Amino acid sequence: MIPELGHFSLILALVMAALLGGVPLYGSFHGQSRLVALAKPAALAMWAYTFTAYACLTYAFVTDDFSVRYVVETSSAQLPLFYKVTGVWGAHEGSLLLWVMALASWSVAVSVFGGGVPTQVLARVLSVMGLIGAGFLLFILLTSNPFERVPMQPEGRDLNPLLQDFGLAVHPPMLYMGYVGFSVAFAFAIAAMLGGRLDAAWVRWARPWTNVAWVFLTMGIAGGSWWAYYELGWGGWWFWDPVENASLMPWLLGTALLHSLAVSEKRGLFKAWTVLLAIGAFSFSLLGTFLVRSGVLTSVHAFASDPGRGVFILLFLATVVGSSLLLFGIRAPRLATTGSFSLLSRETGLFANNLILLVMAFAVLLGTLFPLLSDALALGKISVGPPYFNTVMTPLMAALAVAMGAGLALRWRQDQARRLARVLGLPLAVALLTAVLAPWAFGAGLPGLAVLGLAMAGWIAFGSIAWAVRLRKAPWRWSGANWGALLGHLGLAVTLTGVTLVSVYSQAADVRLEPGQSHTLAGYAFTLQGVEQTQGDNYQAYRGTMQVTRGQDRIAVLHPEKRVYNVESMPTTEAGIDPGLFRDLFVALGEPLGEQGGWSVRIQYKPFVRWLWLGGLLMALGGAAGALDKRYRRLRQTGDVVPPSAALAQGA
């Protein structure tokens, strides 16, 4: 009964989405304010029905309703309650439902917090989101109905053991909120084009939303990296896996969009470009969804595949991208560029930023899709591995860093080389000095990659700090935008430091240890004390005890585990980690070897690995600070749009 209620709700959600997509839009073109006024209630109704469906599915999980196919495939009676609740989005059908939940939630948020936006524009924005929602709801109902019934089964097949982790509660919702959040900027851009008014107003409205979406996406990606690090068991933090790339591409475009919105808002420049980026960022989100959900890729995330689903999403993607580009082609000629700027100006810096981020996104796209293309054209089965991405991204990152270090200190319109040299000379010197001196602390010579990476990170960090100091204001008087810029840039510097040091100075060894034996790595002695059998809720485990000492100091006792889950009889590796701000010690059990209770063990020393995610957190904080800037709150209260020149005077 409850599953049928959920199914029915889902159908009603589709009806509401279609209503939202059509009626207010029609009304807005024919001056019928009663139809326009339908937008908000329809958005709320779409959310309510989607939520009801979602709640019904959760109920089916919690009550072990094994007459629902999706529950049979992704849950089991033994599964702890927490994972029954998060397991709802543990596979294809449920994760699509989560996608629509995210979209509906963003729609409601826009209708609630979009106070300053004219009713007509808001109605069009919500209509566009309704259309997207209708597409996805149709997709769920036609190809991926989570409420489909099967004859009652005695037991489910259990949630994939790798997903039985806290990470599942955080990573997918964050990621989806980010992905789908770019639909708001997209919807604003489309609404602005429909209305033919591509002035600074839509940019002002779309900017905080883009920030918030970007914050979620940043946290989602950083969280996913952290999860992979400790749960996939082997200490890697980024694999250039196609699905990771699918989330990185919208992030790169979203980052470009954030910066391009800044130029459009403050200077009225790059208007057409910004619209194109808003379309691009959301299109890449859809592409990501397509890549992940169609199963066309070989990936750690590819659990099941069904070509019919791929075709639907591909058609949907083509429709969305095609129609928005068509609209853009019709409207773009109206976008006269006003104002000019010199070669040495913040505009140029932001242009460089956009160009580099775009090239990065396309390089990732090429590397991700090339194997597919090659296979489709029968040119052989190919894989493009991490070496390609590292080779390409390193110089691009270096170029981006050069622009970033100077970026904040640059003035709008026109700057003088001499002034810039005065401001940035010291940061540059300090960055270079750090980059050469810091590797000494690690000993082992002066690796080029370490110097390059640290120089980039230092230049970004010290250049940004030099700018902040020259604001000549106490930190508590800084605007949200000031904080956003500083934290965002510092965050990347921190991440970059982590990437560099963990890549260059990590040490790892696969060794065979018998109880009592030890292995020394990076000055730490790892002694295996024993491995015993234990039992968890729904798994059996071997639990190792590994003592770590350094000289006379006892550093930590780690408990790596090897689990075998009862239902899927699938082994997983739970690493034992001693985390630290400056280094992680990481041990994982391989397999039992020989008669004496020996095990193969992977031991790793990972310097500064936490900085990867710490930087992500700082970036996210920066994005949030930017979204909370006072001028957006003022906008919401009065609906005033500050003309670009005034914004320039007050914000820059």
Candidate residues 515, 571, 580, 597; the one interacting with another protein per rule CB under 8 A: 571
606 binds another protein (CB under 8 A): no
Please give the structure tokens belonging to residue 63: 């009550």
Please, which residue, 568 or 578, has the CB nearer to another protein?
Answer: 568
Candidate residues 602, 606, 610, 631; the one interacting with another protein per rule CB under 8 A: 602
Shortest separation between residue 76's beta carbon and another protein, angstroms: 14
- Residue 259: name the closest of 351, 178, 185 by CA: 351
52-91: contacts with another protein (CB under 8 A): none
343 binds another protein (CB under 8 A): yes
* Distance, CA of 219 to CA of 175 (rounded, Å): 7
Shortest separation between residue 399's beta carbon and another protein, angstroms: 8
Report how far apart, in Å, the C-alpha atoms of 545 and of each of 204, 560, 575 are: 56, 7, 12
162 binds another protein (CB under 8 A): yes
DSSP class per residue in 5-58: HHHHHHHHHHHHHHHHHHHHHHHHHTT-HHHHTTHHHHHHHHHHHHHHHHHHHH
Shortest separation between residue 106's beta carbon and another protein, angstroms: 31
Candidate residues 86, 95, 143, 572; the one interacting with another protein per rule CB under 8 A: 572
Shortest separation between residue 60's beta carbon and another protein, angstroms: 22
338 binds another protein (CB under 8 A): no
359 binds another protein (CB under 8 A): yes
Interacting span for another protein (CB under 8 A) from 203-211, 263-271, 298-306, 328-336: 298-306
Q: Do residues 239 and 225 touch, judged by C-beta distance below 8 A?
A: no
391 binds another protein (CB under 8 A): yes
383 binds another protein (CB under 8 A): yes
The neighbour count for residue 622, using CB atoms within 10 Å, is 26
Shortest separation between residue 34's beta carbon and another protein, angstroms: 49
Candidate residues 85, 317, 321, 392; the one interacting with another protein per rule CB under 8 A: 392
Three-state SS at 311: helix
What are the φ/ψ torsions at residue 378 (nearest 5 degrees)? Answer: 55, 40
Shortest separation between residue 568's beta carbon and another protein, angstroms: 5
Sign of CA dihedral 261, 267, 269, 271: positive
Candidate residues 510, 532, 537, 640; the one interacting with another protein per rule CB under 8 A: 510
382 binds another protein (CB under 8 A): yes
What is the C-alpha R_g of the chain?
Answer: 26
The neighbour count for residue 378, using CB atoms within 10 Å, is 7
Candidate residues 67, 517, 566, 573; the one interacting with another protein per rule CB under 8 A: 573
Shortest separation between residue 359's beta carbon and another protein, angstroms: 5
Shortest separation between residue 298's beta carbon and another protein, angstroms: 6
366 binds another protein (CB under 8 A): yes
Q: Where are the beta strands (DSSP E) in 514-610?
A: 518-521, 524-535, 539-550, 553-558, 561-565, 571-574, 576-578, 583-593, 598-607
434-473: contacts with another protein (CB under 8 A): none
Q: Do residues 249 and 618 touch, judged by C-beta distance below 8 A?
A: no
Please give the structure tokens belonging to residue 171: 């990573």
Interacting span for another protein (CB under 8 A) from 251-259, 360-368, 614-622, 626-634: 360-368
511 binds another protein (CB under 8 A): yes
Please, which residue, 549 or 600, has the CB nearer to another protein?
Answer: 600
Give the DSSP H/E element, type plus range, for residue 508: strand 507-513
Please, which residue, 323 or 390, has the CB nearer to another protein?
Answer: 390
Shortest separation between residue 338's beta carbon and another protein, angstroms: 12
Interacting span for another protein (CB under 8 A) from 78-86, 212-220, 460-468, 586-594: 586-594
302 binds another protein (CB under 8 A): yes
Please, which residue, 35 or 256, has the CB nearer to another protein?
Answer: 256
- DSSP letter, residue 199: S
- Residue 289: name the closest of 385, 167, 178, 165 by CA: 178
Candidate residues 325, 384, 398, 648; the one interacting with another protein per rule CB under 8 A: 384
Please, which residue, 388 or 442, has the CB nearer to another protein?
Answer: 388
Size of the site for another protein (CB under 8 A): 49
- Residue 489: name the closest of 512, 519, 526, 459 by CA: 459
Shortest separation between residue 527's beta carbon and another protein, angstroms: 17
Q: How big is the CA angle at 114 (ends 112 and 119), to the nearest 5 degrees? A: 105
Please, which residue, 211 or 345, has the CB nearer to another protein?
Answer: 345
560 binds another protein (CB under 8 A): no
- Residue 16: name the closest of 143, 107, 96 by CA: 107
Please, which residue, 33 or 569, has the CB nearer to another protein?
Answer: 569
225-244: contacts with another protein (CB under 8 A): 232-233
Q: Do residues 584 and 578 touch, judged by C-beta distance below 8 A?
A: yes
Interacting span for another protein (CB under 8 A) from 98-106, 195-203, 489-497, 509-517: 509-517
Q: How big is the CA angle at 614 (ends 613 and 619), to the nearest 5 degrees? A: 95
The neighbour count for residue 159, using CB atoms within 10 Å, is 28
Please give the structure tokens belonging to residue 2: 């409850």
* Distance, CA of 29 to CA of 25 (rounded, Å): 7
The neighbour count for residue 506, using CB atoms within 10 Å, is 18
263-282: contacts with another protein (CB under 8 A): none
Please, which residue, 32 or 305, has the CB nearer to another protein?
Answer: 305
Please, which residue, 512 or 633, has the CB nearer to another protein?
Answer: 512
* Distance, CA of 500 to CA of 397 (rounded, Å): 12
Terminal-to-terminal C-alpha distance of the chain: 59
Q: Which residues bind another protein (CB under 8 A)?
A: 160, 162, 232-233, 298, 300, 302-303, 340, 342-343, 348, 351, 355, 359, 362-363, 366-367, 370, 380-385, 387-388, 391-392, 395-396, 510-512, 562, 568-573, 588, 590-591, 593, 600-602
